[in-house]
Each structure stands twice: as C-alpha cells, then as structure tokens.
Structure 1
Amino acid sequence: MPQAPRCSIHWTYGSTEARELTYSPITPEFLSKEEDVPAGCILPIVDLELLNGAGEFIPQLGKSGKVCVSGPGVMKGYLNQENTHFFIERQGRQYFRTGDLAEFRDGVLYLLGRGDHQIKTRGYRVNPNEVESLAAAAPGVAQSIVVAVPGARFGNLMVAFVNRRPGELVDEATLRHHVARLAPRYMIPERFILNEYLPSAATGKVDRSSLKARAIR
C-alpha cells in the first residue's frame, strides 16, 4: 500500500474452531491470478494433515484429502456436545476434522470444497445425520432428510423434510417439540416440511439437491 509501504497484508485460512492455519502474502502477482487462489503455506505452529476416504493420513504429494489440524489455535471441543466424530488421534495428538477438502501443490495448500454434509448454523457445526435421526425417531415418522438453505441472520438454516408413515398423523409442532426435548436450540430445524414420500435420484438415494431447491423456493 502506498500509505504504508513497509506493511504487508496476508490472506489466511482458518475457522472458528481452528484459527489461522495457513497464510499467503497478498502481492500484485497474487491479485492477478486467474487460476485457483491458494489457501497458502502452513503456519509453523500448526500441524495440518490430509485424511483419505479410508480414514488414513496421506502424504502431501498432490493427492486430495480432508483437512485435519492440530495446534494451539485449535479448539478442544464443543461445549455440551458429543465431540468424538469431530476429532481423530495420531501419535498421541488430537486432530480436528475441519470437513474441508484440499490438496497440496508444490507445498502450498489449495482448498477444493467440503468433504462432508456438515452445516454451519448459528455459529455451530451440526451433523445433519444426527438431526435426521432425532426427527425420524418421532412417532409416525418413517424417514427424515435435513438440508441447509441460506439465511438472512444466522448463515445457513436447516430445513427438515419428513416422510410420514402411511396413515399416521404428524404435524410440525409435534416434530419441533420432539427434537427440542432431545437437542439444543441450534440443532432444531427452522422448518419441518411433511411429505408422503421423498424424491429419489438415479442412484436410488434421496435426491437432496431437489429437496434443497424446494426448501429455497
């Protein structure tokens, strides 16, 4: 910057649960990049590893994997929440699973997107499978699918699509009360949409994209 020629600005990558993990100086060359923008180099105080689909740590040799981190800026766990699936241990150290997909190119980290279905809502990371299980356990419910939609105030909001059992009477108020008895406020979906069936994709699995599009409308 002309006003502060001796200062430098760095682009960093991190999250609420794991503060700054990487850095990359913002230079004219950096700003002129038309290809993928890197997350940057790993900070010296951070231990960042990639995990493959089998849950194994992999070398930083161009293969993509899920980002797992350990270091002084990484949280110990979520308060009043089961934390087992958020962490993995290696050689006596606890690593936080960020859920981000990434790869290394010439020693520099590049983010590729998300590697799970976690939803960031109201400042918390929520596993939609847990919410789906809670809703599906309500009387008269056969199946539940939770999707995330953009919200005006709290980032993503959760919408639960609920498949009723034939002949069963289920309403939104009952479902909301059922989930509220078993989970904290931030895990309660914003809306419950009742269905006689849930749409299937060509693979035979529930078509989450179709449900998300419906929830946004």
Structure 2
Amino acid sequence: MAAVDISPTAALRRRSQLPTAPAVIYEGREISADELSRTAAEFAAGLADRGLRRGDRIAYLGLNSMTFLQTLFAAAHLGAVFVPVNFRLAADEVQHILHDCGAHTVVVEEGHRELVESVVPDVPVRCHVLADTDPQCPVAAAPGAVWTPLSDLLTSDRPVRDHVALYQDDLAVLMYTSGTTGRPKGVMLTHGNIWWNAVNVDSIVDTRSDDVNLAVAPLFHIGGLNALTLRTLVRGGTVVLRRGFDPEQCQNDLVQHRVNSLFAVPAMYAALARVPGFADADLSSLRAAIVAGAPVPPQLITDYAERGILLQQAWGLTETAPFATHLPAELTAKKTGSAGVAMPYTEIRLVDPVTGAVIQEADTRGELCVRGPNVTPGYWNNPDATRAAFDDAGWFHSGDIAHRDEDGCYYIVDRLKDMIISGGENVYPAEVERVLAAYPGVLEAAVIGVPDPKWGETVLAVLTCESGTSPTLEDVRAFTGRHLARYKLPTRILVAEQLPRNASGKLVKSELRRWVDAQRQHVESV
C-alpha cells in the first residue's frame, strides 16, 4: 500500500477549500482556514528564500499566538522541524536548546528579543525573525540589523511552492522536556506520532469536526498543542486562542463561545472553579474536558462532577504525544482518580522497577511502560538517553509508578524518582498529596522527603491555604492519619503563598526543595 501524506499543512489546505467556521479566534479576531493556510505558505516561501530546507529546525519563542501557528504550518509546508521553546526559560536554558537542536531559524516575539540577542554569539542560528504582525505584541522602534521582520516574509510576490509530502516517520517537532532536573532533552515527535494521537483521541473522546476548542494551556507544551488544538484546526473546528491563562477570561470564553473541548492541567481547573460566578455559568456545551499534565486530586474531579462537568483524566508525557491512557466520561464517577485505560492504538503494561518483570496481578505497583505509534522514537542527539528509556522490546519506560485495578483501569501513584523511603517503607508523595488536598482550607499540597536521623527520610508537606486557614502539624497528622499509614504522615509542615510550577503547570520539586532548605528553621516538626 502506498504511503499516505499526513502533513498538517495538507489537511489545513483541504479544510480551507470548504465553507467552515473560523479556524481561529485570536484575542477577538477571527481568522479563516484559508487565511491561515495562505499566510503559512507565504511564510514558508520567505523562509525558503533564507535557506530553510527540509529537515532544518525552526524554533519559536513567545506566548500563544497566531505567529506560533503560522510558524508551525510554515515548517510543515517545507518539511522542516518545528521547535517550540518554553517562554519562561532563562537565557542559559534557551541557549542550550537552540544550540542542541542546531536551529537554522528562530522566530521571536518582542518580549523575548533581548534574551535571544544575548545568546546569538553562542548559537548557530542563521535567520532571526521578529514577529511584528501581531497587535497583541508591539515591536520596538529599532530592533537591530540582525532581525528580519516577519512582515517582510509575508509577501505575495514570491512564488509559493507546493507543500512537502510528509509521512509517518518524518520528524515533525522537537519538544524539549521541562527540565525540572538537569538539562532538557529534545523529544523527537514524528508526524506519525502526532497523527496517531489524534486517531486515539477521536476514537475515545467525544470530539467532533465542528468543535469549538479553547486553547489556554501553553502551546509549547505537548498537551496544549496536540491534545486538542492541532486536531481541531485541521479537522474543521474553531480554536479560541488566548495568549495565556486567565481564570476569569477562561470562564467568559467557555460561556460566550459555547466551548466544547478544553485541555488544562489540574491547577488551571482549580483556579477556574474559584472564579466568582462559576457555579452559575452556563457551561453546558463543554463535553470534552480533559485534565492531565500533573497529578489530579480526586476532589477536583468530584467538585466538577457536582457542577455537572465530567472531567476526563488522561495520562501521558511529551514522549507519548501526549496521551497513553484516558478515562471515558461515563466512568468519571465510578473510577474517580483513575487515569483510565490504554488508548485504543497504544499498549500499556506495568513492570517491576527493580527486576523488570511484567506485573500481571491487579493492585500491584509498578513502572508504567508504553508502546505504540504515538510514542517518540527517542531523544535528539542523545542516544544514551534513548537507550536508557527503551528496553529491547521497544517499550518506553515512563518513570511513573502506577497500579491497575481488576477492571483494567490505571491509577498513577507517583514519579519513581520522587519516591520517599522512610524506615525501609516506600512513600509515594502523590498519595499523601491527594489526602492533604482534602484538608479543610488547603488549596494545594506538595510533599517531599527530608533527611531524618532515625528513619532515613520522613515526609515534609508544603501547603497553600485559603485566607484565615492556619493548619497545625498536629491537626494535619490527625486528619491524614484517618486515611494513611503512620509512616506516610507528614512529620513537618510549611505554609507557602504558592507552589513553584513551570509554564506547563507542573510542580517543580527541585525549586520546592531549595525553598524548603531556606525555610527549614521555621518548620514545625515532630
């Protein structure tokens, strides 16, 4: 059978020939599929004039925007590799990514221009494009000779070549992991990985061709980009695109645009639930509300279910593009807290993290391993990391610990590397965090292990609380002791204004540990 062109550029072009709703509503402006397709083709022609070729890497640094989408589709048009960069990274981290991927071109918003200029001498970038076509992001009067204005590349006087046909094994995206420890690794995602995730989602989630999807999660994150946004664009729906997440604006968008699908991390859903008027807002159109990207407190799912919204928990990583499991909406109440079952075209299994033996028994903890066409082929320029992540049978080892119930539903316990060993017993922070999140007045909870002369490690809890809530260690231990074994109970607590999270909404425990070390003299302990 002949190979099939699965280029997103081709799909967008096919859509543009049909009378559909706006492809994007960006900060109040409607953009048709034809306009997006045409602009991306013009952008691609301008980039080709500056030497960008198939397989070259083109990086984008900025917030959610039309420029982000134009860059993505222009890259696909040429068969180049798109590299979305976390806009919250420091100069040294951005330098590492641009150097590691060997970026030919970098497209930058004004707010990040000076940062990129500071690393220009140390990276191999040959073409610097400054986004100057977005009213939401005004440009400085004299940005410097190194920069080519995007508007110069978006001219119709260049011949627009046909798009490059792209197939399953062609590299689409280099997405660098959040780098909470060590240097970020470039996860290679092929067009097949991207495409098969869409097939998985459409097979099990109630998504439709005319959906309205709200994109508020960062698009440089695989969940923000490929959970629903890209699929909605190429399939015929409308993406309501916001530069960032604002809880009140999110609620207004859900109501005003009759949003059908939303991907967000737990912290976003929690913030949305605290917006005044949330209890009475008309969210009846929202039928595909997916939550993933961080541990999901069961109480959050329960709270939304009482509101009439069935949050569908999913699990995956950048390496799985992003979903490997999903809990169908009809099981939300019955299996609260479960990350669901394997996606239709993805295999899941548990293995003993020490022996590597496959775990067949229910309710037995092991490391989650994934295999399927949505799984990355490996890490860019990092064969050692690739070998460490995959076994000889091609299973990707996620580093997440989970167990499976008798019905085949998986429950994520924690990251293997975050496990606390106290007196020879394994303590999984996420298990303790779920209980702490239900303590009256606690908004968020994070647990880490701290050295203890008697037990080796014990549990320290960091809490954020509602105004007027001041939990004592005694009260916290009494509450958690009703749900957890004694060795899992916090022996020390700290109250913080907020927990450190990266731009993807994930808790950064390395930063939390540094903050705890600076606060240790104030820790109440037993």
Q: Which has the higher contact order (CA 8 A, sep 6+)?
A: 1
User: Which structure has more helix as a fraction of its residues?
Assistant: 2
Larger Rg: 2
User: Which structure has more strand as a fraction of its residues?
Assistant: 1
TM-score with structure 1 length normalisation?
0.49
